[in-house]
Amino acid sequence: MHLKESNGFIGLYTERPYKKGELLFELRGPIKADATSTSIQISKAKHIEDAYTQYINHHCTPSAKIVGRKVMAQHDLKPNDEITFDKNIMADELQKPFVCKCCGKLLRGKKYPAT
């Protein structure tokens, strides 16, 4: 994995090809009960924050999915593909609501319908 800037946004990118379902890496940070603006919610009242979580960008058709600590390829990936996940279906309530770059909707977490 490596970080790269694209259009003013830093994102996380692959180094090599991955097959669908393959483990990309594991999140290693502490699990906390409360969300922060850069944590990822992995289950009810469990939020992980580590060196990478703030750089895994949202996409509505993401390249990866996060199950527990595992970040896995959602489909086959090429080297230098951005690793993205669906923040909106992971989080009950986003600490930092944002307008999605792919669909233009305001996303606030799964408690709220996207508008």
Q: Which residues lie near Zn ion (CB under 5 A)?
A: 60, 100, 102-103
In whole angstroms, how close is the CB of 75 to Zn ion at the nearest point? 17
> Residue 47 CB: number of other CB atoms within 10 A?
22
In whole angstroms, how close is the CB of 60 to Zn ion at the nearest point? 3
For Zn ion, which is the closer residue by CB, 49 or 64? Answer: 64
Count the neighbouring beta carbons within 10 Å of the beta carbon of residue 21.
11
CB of residue 108 to Zn ion, shortest distance in Å:
13
Are 114 and 94 a contacting pair, CB within 8 Å? no
CB 42 within 8 A of CB 50: no
- What is d(CA 76, CA 20) in angstroms, rounded to the nearest whole number? 5
